[in-house]
Structure 1
């Protein structure tokens, strides 16, 4: 058995900044209302025709590969996490293989929404541990802006989300730096509390939506029971962080950096207060980017590392909760 480590990080966000004040021009909302409920000041939206989920992932991947000192020929496998693929099928993993000019390596697509990157990281970790692969490209990338109800009707959800991508190279470890453990959970009984239910093969398909031509149909927009999601998120965040620490014989005081999924600043602040962590022990950037779902953790992790907030030997904790419900954590010795 081998150990794995994150050998390179990168991220990409579109140039187009959409502020809360920009949103007030297209829906009934205010900067104060958005900040109070989410902590978000601005987010990035793609310019249609310029960026896609795949192209952003490729741009983030190139940075991560350069930092890891890994060439295209040295990538053994691709794991791509997203809820917003370029196509209904195939998934973006194979598009990354093509666009980066990788060998005919395997490409796996992950559909675990906000928990997607930690799930993908866990898969990469296990493949490297087993000895099957040496260098795995893990990407989380999302284009939300093209699928949101950008009207007053949809404001409770649409103000939260942004576009962007993050990537990591998971490689065989040659020293004490390693992913210590990962922890994955799900609770499907609450699937519809945060979901996009159409189009879907088991319900209303594209042909049904087109035939009905109902302007009041919102089934293809995301819906969220905000208070219910918040209540479950703070509980599951706490549980899965403690699960990881306990398995590795660590205490909360051992955490050097917590990177929570950037779902809502209020959730992150709740967890920080509950665990008694300082501002230097928790990294948040939702204020700038909104909730970028599978991309949020790798973007935040990269920014924290670039800012010198993560150093060799640090205990880094990643934690996520989202649609499914799914939740996950990773404990890393940097």
Structure 2
């Protein structure tokens, strides 16, 4: 059985920086309130006319990852696109990337697991490579949140958290017998709490004509809903469980982790997990302060930046971990 390894990473974020002070001009909030609860100082939003979309940002990140992998578009066998904010309801972003990059008629799969989407995508790619079906898989996480947020005081609890951006990874068959690559992945879900972090409409349960007919401005279903405290309490438990699961599977201890890349949901969650595993600041990478929560894009953006900054080296043990809507959560343990 083959193993898979990371051969290329890339990321892209829009140029438009939106600070907490910027948000305070359009809703009742302030920098201190946002930083205290989330750790976020600023985020990036697509600006009308800047030529970006979920798929376009994904392509920009993918091209960087391909160049760093020393591969061309024709070397890719499979595209996996993770997002909760595709350009359109259907088709998904994967086929748009295939078209925009003028790729061969390779398969394209969309993963709709929100904040856990990228970890799920890595797991899927790893299985296809292990079986020998594909050699090089392009994995993209990309989000355009700003186009669907309630940017008023009513929506501030959710809207101040999210940002736009994309990250990409090339996962390839490991031709070396060096024990490196993706060691294991671990995925879970608990649908009983699906509505605690959700967007109910437009959907086939709350379709467009129904929303238009009701015109219910006090109970708008087409903006995201989050039960913040409930999500936080579940996140810190599931993060810890799934990280431990990966460590135990590979006979590792927390001290063996060279770099933990947690999904950038909330800096307070990351700090709680760091403290629980007694990890130093050098063992955990956070960039939510600059980008907010970019959902499926957060892990590949953070992973790319950590690698670019020289914080990840050959032979390092890198752990990816995520928790989010669904509820879904997962981890991946990688020997770099």
Q: Normalised by the size of structure 2, how large is the TM-score?
A: 0.98
Separation of aligned partners in 2, 1:41 and 1:99 = 33
- Show the counterpart of 1:259: 261
- Show the counterpart of 2:184: 181
- Show the counterpart of 1:322: 324
The alpha carbon displacement at 1:214 in A equals: 2.7
The alpha carbon displacement at 1:7 in A equals: 0.3
- Show the counterpart of 2:23: 23
CA deviations over 1:185-237 (Å, ceiling 9, x no partner): 00000000000011111x21011112222322321111111110000000000
Larger CA deviation: 212-221 vs 42-51: 212-221
Query: For 1:109-258, what aligned pairs fall within 5 Å after superposition?
Result: 109-175=110-176, 176=178, 177-201=180-204, 203-258=205-260
Separation of aligned partners in 1, 2:137 and 2:101 = 13
Query: For 1:59-74, what aligned pairs fall within 5 Å after superposition?
Result: 59-74=60-75
* In the alignment, structure 1 residue 332 sits paired with structure 2 residue 329: no
CA deviations over 1:281-305 (Å, ceiling 9, x no partner): 0000000000000000000000000
- Show the counterpart of 2:32: 32
Separation of aligned partners in 2, 1:73 and 1:260 = 32
1:48 aligns to what SS in structure 2?
coil
2:141 aligns to what SS in structure 1?
strand
- Show the counterpart of 1:77: 78
Separation of aligned partners in 1, 2:48 and 2:246 = 40
Separation of aligned partners in 1, 2:184 and 2:13 = 29
The alpha carbon displacement at 1:183 in A equals: 0.3
- Show the counterpart of 2:274: 272
1:287 aligns to what SS in structure 2?
helix
* In the alignment, structure 1 residue 297 sits paired with structure 2 residue 292: no
Gaps of 5+ in 2: none
C-alpha RMSD of matched pairs (Å): 0.7
Separation of aligned partners in 2, 1:140 and 1:78 = 11
The alpha carbon displacement at 1:80 in A equals: 0.2
The alpha carbon displacement at 1:12 in A equals: 0.2
1:288 aligns to what SS in structure 2?
helix
2:133 aligns to what SS in structure 1?
coil
2:186 aligns to what SS in structure 1?
strand
Gaps of 5+ in 1: none
Q: Normalised by the size of structure 1, how large is the TM-score?
A: 0.99
Separation of aligned partners in 2, 1:148 and 1:192 = 17
2:108 aligns to what SS in structure 1?
strand
Separation of aligned partners in 1, 2:295 and 2:13 = 13
Separation of aligned partners in 2, 1:213 and 1:236 = 38
- Show the counterpart of 2:44: 44
Separation of aligned partners in 2, 1:204 and 1:322 = 22
The alpha carbon displacement at 1:174 in A equals: 1.9
Tell me the matched-pair count.
333
The alpha carbon displacement at 1:72 in A equals: 0.8
